[in-house]
Structure 1
Amino acid sequence: MARIDGYVADIEYIHHFCRELGPSALNLVLTMQGIEPIPLNQGFSCCDLGCGQGLSTNIFASCHPEGQFHGIDFNRAHILGARELSSQAGLANATFWEASFDDLGRLPLPEFDFITLHGVYSWVNADNRKHIVDFIRCKLKVGGVVYVSYNCLPGWSSVAPIRQLLISCADMESGLLEEQINVSIKFVERLKSMNLSYFSNNPSAGNFFDELSKRSKNYLAHEYFNENWVPFYHADVVKNFAAVNLTFAGSASFVDNLDFLRFSLEEQHLLNSTEDPVLKETVKDFAVNQQFRRDVFTKGRKRLVNVAHQELVSRYRFALVVPREKDTITLNFSRNEAHYDPALYKAVLNALDEQHLSLDDMLLKPEIASFGPEYVHQSLMVLLSASYILPAVDPSPEVIVSTRQFNYAMLERTALNMEPQYLASPVVQTGIKLDWVQRLLLLCELTDSGDPLSFVSSMMREHNYALIKDGAALQSWDENLEELGRQIRSFHVCQLPLLKRLGVV
């Protein structure tokens, strides 16, 4: 197993997109938390430390040609791939650097409005965490924003021993990392089958391992087989970043900021009576047994006064980002399954299915206003948390051209990558997820490639690809053709009109 500073280096990470890293997403967190957002129309700069394959950086660069984006990763294959996509998409505002964290001080970089670290902080050693903090001290502008994700406690307390078993077994084996992972998985499976006391007394560990063992080797290698792997309490991270004048602003996982969705009334009362903000976040983590945090910090950013905050929130426009198919919604959150007033949500979703609207716009519609501003606002927060809607803008011609070029570059790669991928939306300024068949259908539509059934089915035959229905791969070719026909009809009725409204095509 090849490692650099303890980090896996001989197998590439998955092509991962993280919506929370986007400037618009981070500004939404600031706004909803009562903090002044960073103006994006005046030019800004972003740096993603540990950018991996650079997919997030490239998507956001295409959505924001007015910004400058830098991605840094030590893995040469990652950086070469990111540069290739950037060049193919014609992104002049995306720059990728092959560098380790101890090289950061030697790179000719500007100061940044946004610095992001996703899947980094828990997976590097103490020296590299110090390099990261020093970089933030030197390169984050006053008023800047930092996003950092990390494994956290107490959620990992009961299952962290699984990871220790895996890596201990792998380190005893020679050969390729993929082989070491296979041996480790089989070893833990054997222990689990023997019903050892750890598993019998800790059912969550067995469930966790069952889910873990289904993941790809690329994912497992980078998540669990690094030499360094440290879960933190939120208080530890706050203390480390306080040393460089950063203040916790909120969670980039939007639902984590909405106590009314996550906690019982008794728990909300306890949280409201907890004055210390760090202790309050810690209590939240204990309440839901949190395993992973996405924290947002700011450096001296001003808070909004109440009137300005309310006005800014009420003017945010939103777009529906899922096909409009159901009149009622059932949403699952950590502490409860919430059923909401069908009439309110039907009215809100119907309105958003027609056009992008703000809270103020919705309150001008009698069928929505009758529910009252508080409940309409709450419905928007719920829909945001469930990723039914996202903030929307009217994109400039420059942004439309930039995202179209990126999307064509991604679609040209469709035949080579059958995993779900993302295309850029200039309207919601982020990536929209499409599976392989959906991308093929879009490619067929844009290139006038004839009958979509013939086009996609020929690609399926070429790649020996079977469609999934009810959680299982279809076995016969006739079954696949029947399901493909259904998916084609659904795509043209539901997905394609949505992609057009979002400016993806």
Structure 2
Amino acid sequence: MSDWTAGYVADIGYTYGYYPELNPWRVKLAFLTAGLHFPEFGTACELGFGQGLSANVHAAASVTRWYGTDFSPAQAGFAQELAEASGSGAQLFDQAFDEFCTRADLPDFDFIGLHGIWSWISDQNRHIIVDFVRRKLKVGGVLYIGYNTQPGWAAFAPMRHLLTRHSAVIGSEGSGIIHRIDGAVDFAEKLLATDPSYIRANPAVVDRVKRLKDQNRHYVAHEYFNRDWLPMHFSTMAEWLVPAKLSYACSAFYLDHLPVLNVTAEQHAFLNEIPDAVFRETVRDFMVNQQFRRDYWVKGARRLNPLAQSEAMRAVRVLLVNHRTDVPLKVAGALGEAELSEPIYAPIIDRLADHRPQTLQQIFDAVNGKGTTFAQVCQAVIVLVGAGHLIMVQDEHSMARKATDRLNRHLLQQARGGGEISCLASPVSGGGYAVGRFDQLFLLARSEGRQHPAEWAAFAWSLLADQGQRLLKEGKPLETLEENVAELTAQATLFAEKRLPILRALAIA
């Protein structure tokens, strides 16, 4: 492998994932919940953007100016193609961190984001990133980092070491990364069959190795097989960020803001006795066995007084992005699945069922007669946004509509040949919304003048049939033309009834 990779997997591309925490607009609700002042976002940067889907969606769906880099020329090329298609003006490069972070033409940033990459790079590159954040993040600016953490990786770390050593020592460089991964996983299964003491002490590793066999090889290569790989304790991360003058703000994962979903009452009381915020987060990670953290850090935290916090929360606008019947009164946290109070949640969901934006004040006014307090409305909104049922609505979204239309048109054309990209850009949310391949093909059919579900299904089938593709139903392929068209028509009808009104509300359709 050539030196420019710096030990990072380069002979297989990263996945086409979309990561909503990289959307600066999401900072507002998280900061308000934590009682913190939130900045306005005019400039943003993503370091290690992979295929660049998140960066391009966020650049197209807002008026924020985006910059970023990824060392892979192939990935940067795809990202630049998306930027050109949308006309967003996103400046995306294929430079290594040391080259990009010393560019003289970069502005200062309100938001800098890294998702995953921190765990897979060398300490030298971490120092470069911290220095970049120190110099280029504005006062009051926000840093988002998603990274592998301990103690959640403690049991599997030795197995990860074994897999990479097998790839390096037994695997053949010329056979390609996928072949080496398959060989390493097969070897691990044979080892586990001998019942080593390591497995008796760490029984969950068995299921994890089994899951590796079915996971996307692009993901597995980048998650497990880089030369540098370091799950980092939260307190260690805090020490790394001291030179950049950053302090921990809050979790970017909204459900983390609700202790009742994640720790027992006894654990919560124990945490409240710990005066140091950094040590408290480190201890919490042991309670939930945290494996991946999604954190916001801020350069100069400023607390809001209760009145300012309440007024800002009341002005927040949200929109329901699932059909009313598809919103279960359940949510999963670290403690498992929790039931949501129907007297509180059902009226809120009913109020939003028409998929029109509502402020939290408007929601409260509608449900107040049922005995619901404003604090309960706020908590319900945090839960529903965290579970993916609600999105925050941007204050001004009409200015981004042209760019998202162009980007989505390009992505819909991509869906003709495959389903790697499963989200489209919404100027309403300033971010991405999950849309599967078939729904994308139905949208494409509509854009070309086909008006009815049966026509959308026929359009989709013509593309699939030309490529020798068939649908799966209950895990089995549908063989005949009639079966495939019938299934597509059923899905197109469901799309028209349930999902199309939501896509209209999001200004995607």
TM-score normalised per structure 2: 0.94
> In the aligned structure 1, how far is the partner of 2:241 from the partner of 2:340?
39
Aligned-pair identity in percent equals: 33
One-letter code of the match for 1:456? Answer: A
> In the aligned structure 2, how far is the partner of 1:194 from the partner of 1:475?
40
Aligned to 1:267: 267
Aligned to 2:426: 425
Aligned to 2:203: 203
One-letter code of the match for 1:61? Answer: A
> In the aligned structure 2, how far is the partner of 1:121 from the partner of 1:26?
20
One-letter code of the match for 2:438? Answer: V
Q: Secondary structure in 1 aligned to 2:416? A: helix
One-letter code of the match for 1:476? Answer: E
**8 Å Cα contact 1:421/1:435 also seen in 2:** yes
**8 Å Cα contact 2:62/2:397 also seen in 1:** no
Deviates most, 143-152 or 255-264: 255-264
**8 Å Cα contact 1:423/1:431 also seen in 2:** yes
> In the aligned structure 1, how far is the partner of 2:223 from the partner of 2:320?
33
> In the aligned structure 1, how far is the partner of 2:82 from the partner of 2:377?
41
Aligned to 2:375: 374
> In the aligned structure 1, how far is the partner of 2:295 from the partner of 2:330?
27
**8 Å Cα contact 2:330/2:340 also seen in 1:** yes
Matched, 1:68 2:65: yes
> In the aligned structure 2, how far is the partner of 1:394 from the partner of 1:418?
32
Matched, 1:257 2:237: no
**8 Å Cα contact 1:117/1:148 also seen in 2:** yes
1:326 is displaced (CA, Å) by 4.2
Match of 1:89 among 83, 86, 90: 86
Deviates most, 364-373 or 313-322: 364-373
**8 Å Cα contact 1:368/1:376 also seen in 2:** no
Aligned to 2:221: 221
> In the aligned structure 1, how far is the partner of 2:486 from the partner of 2:199?
43
Aligned to 1:493: 497
1:395 is displaced (CA, Å) by 3.9
1:197 is displaced (CA, Å) by 2.5
Task: Give per-residue Cα distances to partners, 1:207-250, cap 9 Å, x unaligned.
Answer: 11122221122111111110000111100000110122100001
**8 Å Cα contact 1:35/1:301 also seen in 2:** yes
One-letter code of the match for 1:265? Answer: A
Aligned to 2:479: 476
Matched, 1:171 2:172: no
> In the aligned structure 2, how far is the partner of 1:400 from the partner of 1:394?
13
> In the aligned structure 2, how far is the partner of 1:262 from the partner of 1:468?
36
Matched, 1:466 2:470: yes
One-letter code of the match for 2:97? Answer: F
Matched, 1:110 2:107: yes
1:51 is displaced (CA, Å) by 1.0
> In the aligned structure 2, how far is the partner of 1:240 from the partner of 1:106?
20
Aligned in 2, Cα 1:360/1:161: closer, same or farther, shift over 3 Å? same
Aligned to 1:151: 148
Aligned to 1:389: 390
One-letter code of the match for 2:146? Answer: S
Task: Give per-residue Cα distances to partners, 1:314-350, cap 9 Å, x unaligned.
Answer: 2211111122224742222111321122233221111
> In the aligned structure 2, how far is the partner of 1:427 from the partner of 1:195?
54
Written as runs of structure 1 = structure 2, the 5 A alignment for 1:358-373 is: 358-366=359-367, 369-373=370-374
1:367 is displaced (CA, Å) by 6.8
Task: Give per-residue Cα distances to partners, 1:7-58, cap 9 Å, x unaligned.
Answer: 1122111112110011101232222211111124xxx111101111111111
Deviates most, 137-146 or 322-331: 322-331
Aligned in 2, Cα 1:388/1:102: closer, same or farther, shift over 3 Å? same
RMSD: 1.8
Aligned to 1:135: 132
**8 Å Cα contact 2:110/2:137 also seen in 1:** yes
Aligned to 2:52: 54
Aligned in 2, Cα 1:63/1:157: closer, same or farther, shift over 3 Å? same
Q: Secondary structure in 2 aligned to 1:363? A: helix
One-letter code of the match for 2:119? Answer: S
Match of 1:101 among 97, 104, 110: 97
Q: Secondary structure in 1 aligned to 2:17? A: coil
Aligned in 2, Cα 1:414/1:368: closer, same or farther, shift over 3 Å? farther
Aligned to 2:16: 15
1:136 is displaced (CA, Å) by 0.9
Aligned to 1:180: 180
One-letter code of the match for 1:63? Answer: A
Written as runs of structure 1 = structure 2, the 5 A alignment for 1:279-290 is: 279-290=279-290
> In the aligned structure 2, how far is the partner of 1:431 from the partner of 1:488?
22
Written as runs of structure 1 = structure 2, the 5 A alignment for 1:219-368 is: 219-326=219-326, 328-354=328-354, 355-366=356-367
Aligned in 2, Cα 1:349/1:246: closer, same or farther, shift over 3 Å? same
1:440 is displaced (CA, Å) by 0.5
1:366 is displaced (CA, Å) by 4.5
**8 Å Cα contact 1:369/1:376 also seen in 2:** no
1:394 is displaced (CA, Å) by 5.1
Aligned to 2:120: 123
Aligned in 2, Cα 1:72/1:407: closer, same or farther, shift over 3 Å? same
**8 Å Cα contact 1:327/1:345 also seen in 2:** no
> In the aligned structure 2, how far is the partner of 1:464 from the partner of 1:384?
39
**8 Å Cα contact 1:248/1:297 also seen in 2:** yes
Task: Give per-residue Cα distances to partners, 1:370-401, cap 9 Å, x unaligned.
Answer: 22323222221221221111111354432122
Aligned in 2, Cα 1:105/1:90: closer, same or farther, shift over 3 Å? closer
One-letter code of the match for 1:353? Answer: A
One-letter code of the match for 1:10? Answer: D
Structure 1 portions without partners, runs of 5+: none
Q: Secondary structure in 2 aligned to 1:238? A: helix
**8 Å Cα contact 1:31/1:312 also seen in 2:** yes
> In the aligned structure 2, how far is the partner of 1:82 from the partner of 1:326?
33
1:491 is displaced (CA, Å) by 0.3
> In the aligned structure 2, how far is the partner of 1:367 from the partner of 1:25?
26
> In the aligned structure 2, how far is the partner of 1:163 from the partner of 1:480?
41
Q: Secondary structure in 1 aligned to 2:214? A: coil
Aligned in 2, Cα 1:205/1:164: closer, same or farther, shift over 3 Å? same
TM-score normalised per structure 1: 0.95
**8 Å Cα contact 1:327/1:346 also seen in 2:** no
1:95 is displaced (CA, Å) by 0.4
Q: Secondary structure in 2 aligned to 1:156? A: coil
1:84 is displaced (CA, Å) by 1.0
Aligned to 2:441: 440
**8 Å Cα contact 2:149/2:234 also seen in 1:** yes
> In the aligned structure 2, how far is the partner of 1:61 from the partner of 1:210?
38
**8 Å Cα contact 2:17/2:421 also seen in 1:** no
